[in-house]
Chains A and B, each alone.
Chain A
């Protein structure tokens, strides 16, 4: 058992044997069904309070399970957290009463039950990971103080929330922790997690058992339990429902009978589940039959399949140890040598990072490396923010890439999945700092073959370092399924024998250690012309030597082609289906592609097929263009491209035109005579109803592409934008959707438009408290505040926010907008301006800030 290294308090020898796959452990069945049966449901607002108000009845239910053969009784504390109890009773009171009911009923083991908080975690909801952790910690401590023998974390649908609960229990108590999640018909939780993903992460977090509860009936869970068995590092627990629910005479009922339930449980037992019980609809009769059916049997130890597994909350990349497949790790989320990325990270424009990530995924990356290492930023915070931005928008698992152990720990702690840590190396200091983090948070880790002596040339020495990394990892309970080795490629430009040595090192690591290997391939060609030729050929050679996971830029066509071919020859692309589909019309596609790349990027279309035809593009813009400004009369075509690009909402032509113009023309002229008048024209057309919202938006984005070029240029050349005379430059405007309202599209449109007009937009997001708004107004000395509310129910919050801002900062002007507002209503709640739409807000800002 590798479950954990804390001092576990296991009540007795039998429990110890059960946790070593040697005995069955019988849990109880449903509490809710029994409360319903005894007409106890609905008496208290929360059923958990019944342990205090009706202890005899709760004890009686527990006793009926004990008499039926339940060895473990689960306390009636599923929702006994501070959010739900709301201070009516304390968490510890409820756990104490509940544990006492279970003990008095004669339970051999009492499991302190912890269910989900009932609130949604960030970024979907508003509860932070740390706050969830604190809530669960209070419950776990209460359960331990109440004398529970086990902590049962159950019925979780959000992997991140389950992780918070498990960490809270294992970090703060000495009790064995059992964790279960609940899955739907499609074998995913509501948030998309599969049993394989949940098991790959949670079974490594120091729990003593992992499995499935609730969900469906036992028959529907056969496959899921097999998936858990092949990935879990701890004994398996399963507590299904009594089949599927039906409504009869207005009541939800489960119509499976106890003996069918027990019969259908046996395949799960055969797959390796040895901790068994029931959930919704099961009663003492079910438990009695179940206990009877395993009497005299020996548990079957689950057969784990050796695999290197990396997961997000929704996707598992599984590389079985006996298979050699190519799995691309995308390298582009890295500011080194990538100025737009560096700028985006500095300015917290994480949308850019998401966009870059999506491009890589669409180009075939299965895992994304995330590196935010810049000398002048808070790396730990930025890494966590980027990881959160990526995991809330994309499903590809992440590789957390940093040289700062603290930044790594902060990022992986709340990551909803099993990431790879990039990296550890053979130096003792690195091994000591990184491996325990990987162990504690269930991460995979990438080991670099370098140590105190640098990177050895000798392949045997690199193999030795890899072995040392594995040995050290095994000492703390990690294993071959947790480590991948990067043998570190150096350029052939300076040392030609390097390539052969590296390939040999890969072979040694694969053959002797049986580890998966990783390689940052493109270093091989550093300093050489036409690097892509070398890169692709070397990738093929490295794959031949045993490389599994190349870290590459998947947007490079030659890499992509090479990967596609390797997928065919390794048998990974079954029947060459993907290859044939992609390359049957390749010449045609290439020809189309060159013509249309720019506009495809604009439309966000991803695949290399389906490009629009050339005549579609030329007919795109039929409205009368603007006259060419005087200062651009020497380059009418370029100026026209920029203007028309903005009017027709095409980013790339605008960006490219401004790139050329900026070399020959005054920046102030470009902004004041080209970009701003074009934007104004868009606003006019919108006001006249010639454009509708998406057109306004795509024009604003096209203009932004132009402004971005200017910002990159001024940043690179050390020009201060304010000195360029940009009109509204550095005028701060604070924007927020008011407290209680989670709609932010309208506000986002306003933010983008104001940003284009050169304002410093401080966008506080949605559901923002008045206090936070006042703080931001003060911090940025902003004189204009924009508030948005979409709901009739939240304009009240808008009124209160305005009152508070006016009281503290009477000089601040406030503009408001949102579907339910009218100019009259805006005035009545004390707003200075009513913005009927985004262009109106730009005019108000101009009047206000000058």
Chain B
């Protein structure tokens, strides 16, 4: 992993190169995606899960992260960034970045090997496929958490405080921002990320997010509000388990 530059310049600056992220799969998290509610795990299923977990954890996690200062312009209804064509529209991202002086744009991916692995496991058996897919989701999520921690450390070296990750497609933030977000990170060239006409990313196990950077400590936990804006809040299986997807700790 390349060393962090910290506050070398006037603002935070992680390296422009691809970061390699270490993470491990939280099995409970993976099972929760599959609707697990404490059912007794048959030893055969446990064993399959272990072998799938090991295969998924062989995949490299790659990431990019870059800090962009917010251009303060209260007249405009969108949030603009310096050195970046991305502009973010919507009530929810505005709330997320309220009082932020800048934001980290991040992307984390399991790469094309993950596409091949998941496809292969579904070919071998749907059960293994399901478990592989869930483990891969938990793995990329764990990678995103690890990257968030790195971002938070990088920010704190500049006396900034970060908040949680906010991803396109969440709340009223349109998936249309995926394309400029990828461009801002040069993610097509550096990670080979592709985007479909509908704004979905390939490899599918890829997360993009926006993390706010603030000069002052954040007020209250925004957890409850975060769920309010979610389209699937009433059917969310994670919430039913008393957890949230944005506040994993």
Q: Is A249 in contact with chain B by the CB < 8 A criterion? A: yes
- A190 CA / B167 CA spacing, docked (Å): 24
Let me know if B130 and A694 touch, CB within 8 A. yes
Q: Is the CB of B124 within 8 A of A358?
A: yes
For A354, the closest partner residue in chain B by CB is: B123
Question: Which chain A residues lie closer than 8 Å to B113 at the CB level?
Answer: 192
Q: Do B43 and A617 touch across chains, with their CB atoms under 8 A apart? A: yes
Cβ contact within 8 Å between A616 and B43: yes
A192 to chain B, nearest CB (A): 7
Binds B, one of A14-22, A319-327, A502-510, A740-748: A740-748
Contact B127 A791 (CB under 8 A): no
Whether the Cβ atoms of B124 and A603 lie closer than 8 Å is no
B16 touches A252 (CB 8 A): yes
List B contacts of A692 (CB < 8 A).
31, 34-37, 39
A350 within 8 A of B: yes
B68 within 8 Å of A (CB atoms): yes
Q: Determine if A191 and B112 form an interchain contact, defined as CB atoms under 8 angstroms apart.
A: yes
CA distance A294 to B30 in the complex (A): 57
Give the interface centre of B120, B169, B197 by most chain A CB atoms within 10 Å: B120
Residue from A350, A605, A694, A748 within 8 A of B51 (CB atoms) = A605
CB neighbours (8 Å) of A184 from chain B are 18
- Is the CB–CB distance between B120 and A619 below 8 Å? no
Question: With the chains together, A621 CA to B42 CA distance in Å?
Answer: 7
Decide: B198 and A741 in contact? CB cutoff 8 A.
yes
- Residue of A at shortest CB range from B126? A697
> Which parts of B108-128 form the interface with A (CB within 8 Å)?
111-113, 115-116, 119-128
Contacts of A120 in B (CB 8 A): 194, 202
List the A residue with the shortest CB-CB distance to B40. A622
- Does A125 lie within 8 Å of B202, measured CB to CB? yes
Residues of B within 8 A of A394 (CB): 116, 120
Q: In the complex the two chains form, is A698's CB within 8 Å of B36's CB?
A: no
Cα-based distance from A797 to B36 in the complex (angstroms) = 31
Q: Which of A42, A124, A185, A794 contacts B112 (CB 8 A)?
A: A124
Q: A250-B68, A252-B16, A693-B35 are in contact. Are A650 and B44 (CB under 8 A)?
A: yes
Q: How far, in Å, is A180 (CB) from chain B's closest CB?
A: 15
Closest to B20 in A: A185
**Among listed A95-103, A240-248, A462-470, A512-520, interface-contacting one:** A240-248
* CB contact between A649 and one of B17, B45, B51, B198 (< 8 Å): that residue: B45
B66 is an interface residue with CB less than 8 A from chain A? yes
Asked if A701 contacts B232 (CB within 8 A), the reply is no
Contacts of A698 in B (CB 8 A): 44-45, 125, 127
Residues 386-414 of A, flagged 1 when their CB comes within 8 A of B and 0 if not, give: 00010011110000000000000000000
Closest to B111 in A: A190
Q: In the bound complex, what is the Cα–Cα distance between A816 and B191 (angstroms)?
A: 35
Is the Cβ of A354 less than 8 Å from the Cβ of B124? yes
> Is B131 part of the binding interface, using a Cβ–Cβ cutoff of 8 Å?
yes
- With A126-B196, A245-B17, A692-B39 known as contacts, the answer to whether A620 contacts B83 (CB < 8 A) is no
Please determine whether A791 and B17 come into contact, CB atoms closer than 8 angstroms: no
A605-B47 in contact (CB<8A) = yes
Q: Which residues of A contact B80 (CB under 8 A)?
A: none
Question: Which residues of B have CB within 8 Å of A244?
Answer: 17
Tell me, yes or no, whether A351 is within 8 Å of chain B by CB.
yes
Bound complex: CA A819 to CA B125 (Å): 23
B127, A246: Cβ atoms closer than 8 Å: no
Q: Are A354 and B48 in contact (CB-based, < 8 A)?
A: no
A441 CB to nearest chain B CB (Å) = 23
Residues of B within 8 A of A693 (CB): 34-35, 130
A252-B16, A690-B39, A793-B169 known; A749+B44 contact, CB < 8 A: no
With both chains docked as a complex, state the minimum distance between the C-beta of B229 and any C-beta of chain A, in angstroms: 12
Pick from A252, A700, A820: contact of B231, CB under 8 Å: A820
| CB neighbours of A250 from chain B (8 A) | 11, 68-69, 82-83
A701 touches B44 (CB 8 A): no
Q: Is the CB of A191 within 8 A of B192?
A: yes
A120 and B186 alpha carbons, distance in the complex (Å) = 17
Q: Is the CB of A791 within 8 A of B200?
A: yes
Say if the beta carbon of A87 comes within 8 Å of chain B. no
A367 to chain B, nearest CB (A): 18
B204–chain A nearest beta-carbon distance, Å:
7
Return the CB mask of A710-751 against B: 1 if under 8 Å, else 0: 000000000000000000000000000000111101001100
- Distance in angstroms from B192 CB to nearest chain A CB is 3
CB distance from A357 to the nearest CB of B (A): 9
Interface membership of A355, Cβ < 8 A: yes
Instruction: Judge whether B141 is part of the interface by a CB distance below 8 angstroms.
Output: no
A742–B204 touching, CB < 8 Å: yes
Contacts of B121 in A (CB 8 A): 604
Rounded to whole Å, the gap between the CB of A752 and the closest CB of chain B is 6
Whether B196 pairs with A740 at a CB distance below 8 angstroms is yes
Give B32 Cβ to nearest chain A Cβ, in Å.
Answer: 10
Q: Mark A37-52, 1 if CB is under 8 A from B, else 0.
A: 0000010000000000
A820 in contact with B232 given A119-B194, A692-B37 (CB within 8 Å) = yes
Q: Is B6 an interface residue (CB 8 A)?
A: no
Quick check: A246 and B42 within 8 Å, CB to CB?
Answer: no
Instruction: Indicate the member of A120, A612, A740 with the most B CB atoms within 10 Å.
Output: A120
Instruction: Determine the distance from Cα of A689 to Cα of B44 in the docked complex, in whole angstroms.
Output: 19
The reply on B175 being an interface residue by CB < 8 A is yes
Q: How far is the CB of B154 from chain A (nearest CB, A)?
A: 12
Interface assignment of B13: CB less than 8 Å from any CB of chain A? yes
Residue B85 is within 8 A (CB to CB) of chain A in the complex = yes
Residues on the B chain within 8 Å of A701, using CB? 125-127
Check: A497 CB closer than 8 A to any chain B CB.
no
| Choice from A392, A740, A791 contacting B197 with Cβ under 8 Å | A740
A599 within 8 A of B: yes
> Are B199's CB and A603's CB within 8 A?
no
Closest chain-A Cβ to B107's Cβ sits at a distance in Å of 13
Any A CB within 8 A of the CB of B15: yes
CB distance from B110 to the nearest CB of A (A): 12
Return the contact of B199 from the options A245, A248, A793 (Cβ within 8 A).
A793
Q: B44 contacts which of A245, A599, A745 (Cβ < 8 Å)?
A: A599
Q: Is the CB of A354 within 8 A of B44?
A: no
Is A338 on the interface with B (CB-CB < 8 A)? Answer: no
A70 at interface (Cβ–Cβ under 8 A)? no
Residues of B within 8 A of A556 (CB): none
Q: Which of chain B's residues 197-212 have a Cβ closer than 8 Å to chain A?
A: 197-200, 202-204
A393–B39 Cα distance when bound, in Å, is 32
Say whether A602 faces chain B, with CB atoms less than 8 Å apart: yes
**Which partner residue on chain B sits nearest A392 by CB separation?**
B119
* CB-based nearest B residue for A819: B232
Which residues between 35 and 69 of chain B lie within 8 Å of chain A, taking CB atoms? 35-37, 39-40, 42-45, 47-48, 51, 66, 68-69
A603 touches B47 (CB 8 A): yes
Q: How far is the CA of A358 from the CA of B129 in the complex (A)?
A: 14
Expressed in whole angstroms, the Cα–Cα distance for A752 and B129 within the complex equals: 13
A215–chain B nearest beta-carbon distance, Å: 11
CB <8 Å contact, A742 and B47: no
24 pairs, A vs B, C-beta closer than 8 Å? A42-B85, A124-B203, A184-B18, A190-B111, A192-B113, A245-B17, A250-B68, A251-B83, A252-B16, A351-B123, A354-B120, A602-B44, A603-B47, A604-B124, A605-B48, A689-B37, A690-B39, A692-B35, A697-B130, A700-B126, A742-B202, A743-B204, A752-B126, A819-B235
Which 4 pairs show the lowest CB-CB distances between chains A and B? A190-B192, A740-B198, A250-B83, A354-B123
